[in-house]
Amino acid sequence: MSLALRLAAQFAMIAVLFAAVAWFSDHPAYRQIPESTAVMMLTFVHGADRRGECRRLTPEEIAKLPPNMRRVQDCPRVRRPIYVELDVDGRNLYRANLPPTGIAGDGPSRVYQRFVLPAGKYDVAVRMRDTARTAGFDHERRDSIDLTPDQLFVIDYRPESGDFIFR
């Protein structure tokens, strides 16, 4: 084989290998949700009430504390779990007790859940309990929504206003 022919064959081999690599760099396409479906996402970060009430320290207790660490109240750090429910068309899609985060259990609870639903109209209800109550809910929202294909519908919660946000 002449040098030119050999070089051409070497180039062809390398080019074919590189072309295969280039093809696999974006083929075959991947579809993460079926066609004509949308994603409903329930996600928020919210800290529930503390487990116990703050207690006022007595003057004797305050005096026992180091001068630079004196305070008038003793508040427990640990937060309560948050109880949340999500219903779609009257059917319960998700319910959970969300524990507080953090090693000491004093961080906010968090939720990040995706639900793939066929596109279409739905009645959505979301409820949350973040206080010491054992029945009923502290926050709730119901609404009718119309999911379009490939839509990302987010249910969030704003602690500042205490409202659920649908967007």
Compute the distance between CA of residue 82 and CA of residue 127 in angstroms, rounded to an integer: 10
Closer residue to other proteins, CB minimum distance, 15 or 54: 15
When binding is defined by CB under 8 A, the residue of 4, 72, 78, 101 that contacts other proteins is 101
Interface region with other proteins, contact rule CB under 8 A, candidates 38-46, 62-70, 120-128, 137-145: 38-46
- Looking at 2, 4, 26, 68, which residue binds other proteins (CB under 8 A)? 26
Q: Tell me if 59 contacts other proteins by CB under 8 A.
A: no
User: Binding to other proteins by residue 6, rule CB under 8 A?
Assistant: yes
Residue 158 touching other proteins (CB under 8 A): no
Q: Which of 142, 152, 159, 163 binds other proteins (CB under 8 A)?
A: 152
How far apart are CB 144 and other proteins at their closest, in Å? 19
Q: Does 7 bind other proteins (CB under 8 A)?
A: yes
- Selected from 21, 59, 73, 135, the binder of other proteins by CB under 8 A is 21
d(CA 76, CA 132): 14
> Phi and psi (nearest 5°) for 65?
-75, 150
Q: Which of 87, 88, 156, 166 binds other proteins (CB under 8 A)?
A: 156
Instruction: Examine residue 96 and tell whether it contacts other proteins (CB under 8 A).
Output: no
CA dist 3 and 72 (Å) reads 91
Q: Does 167 participate in binding other proteins (rule CB under 8 A)?
A: yes
Nearest approach, Cβ of residue 135 and other proteins (Å): 30
* CA–CA gap between residue 81 and residue 106 (Å, rounded): 10
Peptide linkage before 28 cis (omega within 30 of 0): yes
State the Cα angle at 163 between 162 and 164, rounded to 5°: 135
| 23 contributes a contact to other proteins by CB under 8 A | yes
Classify each residue of 7-41 as buried b or exposed e, where b means 16 or more C-beta atoms within 10 Å of its C-beta. Answer: eeeeeeeeeeeeeeeeeeeeeeeeeeeeeeebbbe
